[in-house]
Each structure stands twice: as C-alpha cells, then as structure tokens.
Amino acid sequence: MPNIATPTHCPYCALQCGMNLTPTQDGGVAVVERPDFPVNRGALCGKGRTAPAVLASGVRLTTPLVRSGGALVAASWPEALDRIAEGLARTRAEHGPDACAVFGGGGLTNEKAYGLGKFARIVLGTSQIDYNGRFCMSSAAAAGIRAFGLDRGLPFPLEDIPRTGCVILVGSNLAETMPPSLRFFQELRDNGGTLIVVDPRRTRTAEQADLHLAPRPGTDLALALGLLHLVVAEGRVDEEYVSERTAGWEEARAAAMAHWPEYVERITGVSVPELREAVRMFCEPEHAMVLTARGPEQQSKGTDTVGAWINLCLATGRAGRPLSGYGCLTGQGNGQGGREHGQKADQLPGYRKLDDPAAREYVAGVWGVAPDRLPGPGRSAYELLDALGGDIKSLLLMGSNPVVSAPRAAHVEERIRSLDFLAVCDVVLSETAELADVVLPVTQWAEETGTTTNLEGRVLLRRRAIDPPPGVRSDLEVLHELAARLGADEGLEKGFPVDAEEVFAELRRASAGGPADYSGITYERLAEENGVFWPCPSPPDGDGVTEHVDDPAREDDAAGDESGTVPHPGTPRLFLDRFATPDGRARFVPVAHRAAAEEPDEEYPVLLTTGRVVAQYQSGAQTRRVEELNSAAPGPFVELHPRLAARLGVAEGEPVAVVSRRGRAVAPARVTTTIRPDTVFMPFHWPGEGRANTLTNPALDPTSRMPEFKTCAVRLETVGR
C-alpha cells in the first residue's frame, strides 16, 4: 500500500490544527504529524489524534433511518429524502414557510453553511434559520462590530502572541479546550512577557499564569471597568491614540469612573492590590493584548462585558497596532466561517446584513432570484428552539445536538419532541437524532473536501483522504436532492451543486465586496498555501488578482508581475491603518456593571458555571464514542470547594444533586480547592441525569441573543441520604 499522506485539518476546535492522514491496511486512515502548519506545528491533542476512530462503520451511521411504529428503522435514500421533502412541503402548505425551520452547526464547512442558508431562504422561503454558533462567540462578534465595525475572532495571527508584552486571557481554559495553543503563551513567558488569567477556577491554564484573578461568576464586566478606572486614575491613558483613532471616550470614561476599586472588589471578590497589579502588568510593556472566550461572552450581558474589555484596549492604545489588540478565541471548528456565509438568522454570505437592501439585492442577484423573495431576519438560536412545536412545526437540523448543548435542555428536548416533523443529518446517532422522524448519514471531515475558517480568520482547505462507506452521502448532496424535490422553480437543484469547489466558487461571488470577502481565495491557492486570511478581495473580473495597494494591515504582499498586479495576499492583521467604521475610528461604548439574570438567594444559594474537559468536545456526540477519550473522561462531575462539600456532608466521588429553577442534575462530587467556595462547576458534554444544561439559564443578551450559560443560581442536595 502506498504511504501517501493527505494534508488536512482536525475536525474539532477552531484551531483547525494541521495533520496528515495516511492509509492503513484496514482501509482507514492514521493521523501523523504535519509540522509545516504554523498554528500547531505538528502538535495535537488527544481528540485530534483519535479523530479517525469516529470514521469506523461500527461507530457512525451508514444507512438512512426512518421512524416506523415508534422506532427508527433502515431505509433507502430515496425513501428517506422523499419523507423529508413531504414533511417540509406539508408544513409549508398548511402553515406557511416560517413554520419550517433550519438549525445548523459550527462544524459545517463553509460550503455547507452557505448551501444551508441559501436552501432555507430560497427553497423553503423561511426566515427561521440559525445555528449553534450563536452559543459560541456571538457576544464577542456583536461587541467587535460595535467597536471596530468588523468582527473576526482574532484580528492577528496566533504567532503574534509570543511577541507581545502581556496577555489578559479572560474566561478561557486553553489547556483543556485548545491544548496546542498553550505553546504560544509559554513562548510569551519565555520571551519575558506576562500572562494574566481571569477565571473563577484555578484551571490548568491559570496554573501557567503570572497572575490569576478569580472573580465571582458573572462579574467580568465590573472587573474590566475597575481596571479601566485604575488606568484613568493612574494616568495610563494613551491620550494621543485616543484622540487620533477613537470616538466616544468621554462617555466611556465617565462610566468607568463610577467603578472605583473598592466597589469592584466587593462585586468581584478580586482584591484592590490584585487589580492594581493587573493594570501595571498590562500597561507597562509597549505591546499587550486582551483575549476573551466563553466565560465573559456566555452571559446575558456578554456584549457589554466584551465591550468593556475592548474599551480597556482602546484607552491604552492596544488595538489596531502591531502586536497589540483585542481578540476572541472562537470555540467551534468553523464557528467563524459558519456565521459569515448565511447560517445566522440575520446574515447573508460575506457577513452581509439581511436587512440591508443593497446586500439583499446583491446576493439575490448571485442566486438568480428577486430580492423580495428573500425573507427577513428570523429568530436567534434559543428563541428558535423555544418556538418548536408552537408556530414552528418542522425542523431540518444539520450537525448539532441541542438536546445536550442548548440551555434549559430539558425544555428544549420537550420542544423537539412536540414537532410535527424532525429531520437530522449527522455522522452519528446523537441524542437529538434519536428523536427524529428521518436521520440521514452524512460524510465526515476525512471523507470530503471543503473549507473552514479558523479562529484567526485563516481560510483552510480540508482534503478528502478516504472514501465514505457505501450508503453515506454529503450534506451538499442532501441539499441538492431536497431542492430538486421541493423547488417550485424548474431546475432549482442546479443552484445546489454537489461539488464543494463549485459551491465555493459561488460563495466567492456572493461574498465579493462584503466585510468577509473571500473572492480572491481559490482552492488552488489553498492547496499551495497554509491558509489565506480574509478579507481577500479580487477584481470585478474575478480572476483572483488585484492591483497592489500599500496596505499597512498586510505585511506579506507578493511580488508583482510586469503588469503591476498580484494576487491579494489576504489580511492577517486587521485595523493597522484604520478601523472598519465609516470614519476609520474605533468606537468606545459606555457600559456599566449589572447583575447576572439570576443571582443566588436563600433557596438557590450557590453559583453554577459550566465548561469543558480536555478529552471531550461540545455535546460529546462524537468524542463519547472514542474509547481512549472516554477512559480519560468517562462522565460528568460536580466540582466544589472543600468548605462547601463539608457543609453539605459530601465526600469525594459521592453523588450530589445540583438543582436550579429549570431542573436537576446528578453527578459525582469532585472536591478541590481550585474553585471558589461560592461556586460549583460542571462540564456539559453528557446527556442523562448528569446533563449540565438541564440547569443553565436561557436568559438572553439583548444584542447578541447569547444565553447565560456561564452563571445561574443552584442549590446542592445529597443523594440517597
């Protein structure tokens, strides 16, 4: 057997680590290092190393399933597709197009995300489409657009981190969620820089920090405002930068000055000396960064919380400058690209706004339909799930498992069960797929070619390395076949090609001129380069070249030919010359601390926060099927401080019940001093009685519509005594 390596990328988190796949004797593939990819330089976590295990036929779905007599039974593809088309068509005819909903996933390739949004809007004619990426970084996206005029997870490559002077890492446990990224922070410290970690738990990441701040969950907004207050009080504002490159400073300054250090200490539990030390460490170096993740973002005030950290960067001149800036650590594999190209309720391809008449006209022209045929913005993710069984009667779901991953999960499960019709496309029989009327087995990362966009905004090519099992088709084929069955227009299925490169060519046209412009990116370029950063425009003729512009945001322009034109090099570093606002200035936004949507009281006196463990991923639908990963993390647990455990009378390993206003979860106690005494932690990867999201609060951020996963009030109860 020839040992031909296929370069590709990990199917899990937004690092999209590079790897090579080589064929094995049994017809599968094995993962080998790919040291040339700069994000991970060959390093992989356990999930990446074991990713081929989910390709095995005994683990994944290999035949369509339809519900018959209350059970899911094997069926042919024509029968399964006919049932889906009939179910959606019946709902549309009886209740109107908005009674059909579509729910996508942050793991879908750009091509699939683009096709799914197009299918929802011009085949079903529904406004009811969103995706689980809403639960990932929507608050950071909203804050970034508000401040900078543009959202891209990181506006600079990861390789800049070791060269800055200080990083404040807010609400991220990279040692568990993105282990290969830790080397950038270790190199930062090796180079003399410092790391500040903000987390209510002393995580494995916090152990690496020079300073660990452990605020009470839900108080990150007050913490950021307290730091900005000290920046002003200590004369550390970069007045020249604020004057030349920002707007709105006086209002933001006044809001911050209402959050004096002693007041912030009372709210957060972070001492005044720690606040002062954090300001000193952040402001003394020439360069510094703030990076946020789900901790501050998954709150009912997440947009304002991220905005407060952005204000800190702007006041100190730490945005839109080399080796300085604010960035968000996107979680899901294609969480960035997934919302850029049409899965999100209010967006069209290229990160265009659905309620923008010019954007509607342009994209409708690419799709060959009238602009008035496109529906308006629909519900956000949780609001859509909450409406299932009400005015939404049927749901087509691709690549998501909300029965485990959604907030108030027991309620969401009940809503899903109340649907007239549910169709699921997935790799495995997830907990949500088990409730479906039709389940379609679809191809995985190593069995298909497509693009993803990692947390840096780097567009990448995943290459097909192995044939899928007989009976498994791609999501693009599913959309093509359903469009043929449902399309009112003659030949509508022709607008849904099954070839990923053909879909990407249309995506390039649809994104051209938009904020997330991919028009200068081609499969040929991606096959030769280690990704291309958007925006990467091309000229109107679409030949992938553009006149050379001396842009300080770009450091790696290619040499021109005799005509003076070169392929656009992409934009690894945003905002170095100007921000993406009409006047080029960043916007301060005045914000003030407010309490979480649900604070502890006499009945529910403890705070719950949730997160991940290194051996599992998201809802665990795939990783829980890998023996090596399950051995490392076999089930849920409740992490609590010894003082809290003593009050309850619970010992290590004993079952403990965590009860919120939404439900009850039971898991073994894990007693540790690394968590605050007023807080408990649960990972959210498991279904059943240990399902953490049974407890979580769906209170929504008014701007981003992000649910408040990260904090809610609970009580603890002993079990069996």
SS3 302: helix
- From 296, 328, 360, give the residue that closes a domain: 328
Q: Residue 38 domain-assigned?
A: no
Q: Which amino acid is at 33?
A: E
The CATH number assigned to the domain holding 309 equals 3.40.228.10
Please give the pLDDT value at position 324.
Answer: 96
Asked if residue 639 belongs to a domain, the reply is yes
Asked whether residue 237 is domain-assigned, the answer is yes
What is the rounded (10 degree) CA torsion for 136, 140, 142, 146? -170
Which two three-digit tokens encode residue 401? Answer: 């498992």
Contact 97, 124 (CB under 8 A): yes
Whole-prediction pTM value?
A: 0.94
Cα dist. 149→63, 406, 582 in Å?
Answer: 46, 29, 8
* Pair of tokens at residue 226: 């307290």
Domain count, the chain: 2
Asked if the structure places residue 173 within a domain, the reply is yes
Q: What is the pLDDT of residues 278-289, one digit of tens each?
A: 999 999 999 999
Per-residue model confidence as pLDDT tens digits over 113-172: 999 999 999 999 999 999 999 998 899 999 999 999 999 999 999 999 999 999 999 999
Run of H or E residues at 267: helix 261-268
| Mean pLDDT, residues 365-369 taken together | 94
Q: Considering only the C-alpha atoms of the chain, give the largest distance between any 2 of them, rounded to a whole number of Å.
A: 83
- Residue 119 in domain: no
pLDDT tens-digit readout, 227-236: 999 999 999 9
Confirm whether 690 is domain-assigned.
Answer: yes
**238: in domain:** yes
Positive or negative: CA dihedral 637, 641, 645, 647: negative
Domain of 665: which CATH number?
2.40.40.20
pLDDT digits (tens, 9 = 90+) for 200-242: 999 999 999 999 999 999 999 999 999 999 999 999 999 999 9
Closest residue by Cα to residue 218 from 591, 600, 590, 588 = 600
pLDDT for 490 beyond 80: no
Q: Please check whether residue 479 is in contact with residue 328, taking contact to mean a CB–CB distance below 8 angstroms.
A: no
Question: What is the C-alpha R_g of the chain?
Answer: 25
Neighbours of 189 (CB within 10 A): 15
Domain boundary among 328, 344, 373: 328
The string of pLDDT tens digits covering residues 79-117 is 999 999 999 999 999 999 999 999 999 999 999 999 999
pLDDT tens digits along 385-430:
999 999 999 999 999 999 999 999 999 999 999 999 999 999 999 9
Q: Where are the beta strands (DSSP E) in 612-709?
A: 638-640, 655-660, 663-671, 679-683, 697-700, 707-708
Predicted pLDDT at 567? 86
- Residue at 219: amino acid letter: T
The pLDDT, as a whole number, for residue 136 is: 87
172 is in which domain, residue-wise?
Answer: 154-328
End-to-end C-alpha distance for the chain, whole angstroms? 61
Q: Which residue has the higher pLDDT, 4 or 715?
A: 715
DSSP 161-228: GGGSSEEEEES--HHHH-GGGHHHHHHHHHTT-EEEEE-SB--TTGGG-SEEE-PPTT-HHHHHHHHH
Asked which of 313, 328, 343 is the last residue of a domain, the reply is 328
Around Cβ 434, how many Cβ atoms within 10 Å?
Answer: 13
Burial class (CB in 10 A: 0-12, 13-18, 19+), 46: middle
CA atoms within 13 A on the CB side of 645: 21
Classify 476 as helix, strand or coil.
helix
CB 80 within 8 A of CB 88: no
Asked if residue 220 lies in contact with residue 299, where contact means CB atoms within 8 angstroms, the answer is: yes
Give me the mean pLDDT over the 250-265 stretch. 98
Sheet holding 6-9, edge to edge: 6-9, 18-23, 29-32
Q: Considering the chain, what is the average pLDDT of its residues? A: 94
Confidence grade of residue 487 (pLDDT, cut at 50, 70, 90): confident
What's the pLDDT at 3? 64
Q: What is the pLDDT averaged over residues 330-337?
A: 87
Nearest to 596 by CA among 482, 707, 674, 473: 707
Quick one: which of 604, 608, 584, 629 has its CA closest to 680? 608
Q: Is the pLDDT confidence value at 548 over 50?
A: no
Q: Over the stretch 434-447, which tens digit does the pLDDT of each residue have?
A: 999 999 999 999 99
Cβ partners under 8 Å of residue 129, min gap 6: 101, 102, 103, 104, 116, 117, 120, 121, 343, 344, 345, 378, 384
* Tokens at 394, concatenated: 């049927």
Q: Is residue 72 part of a domain?
A: no
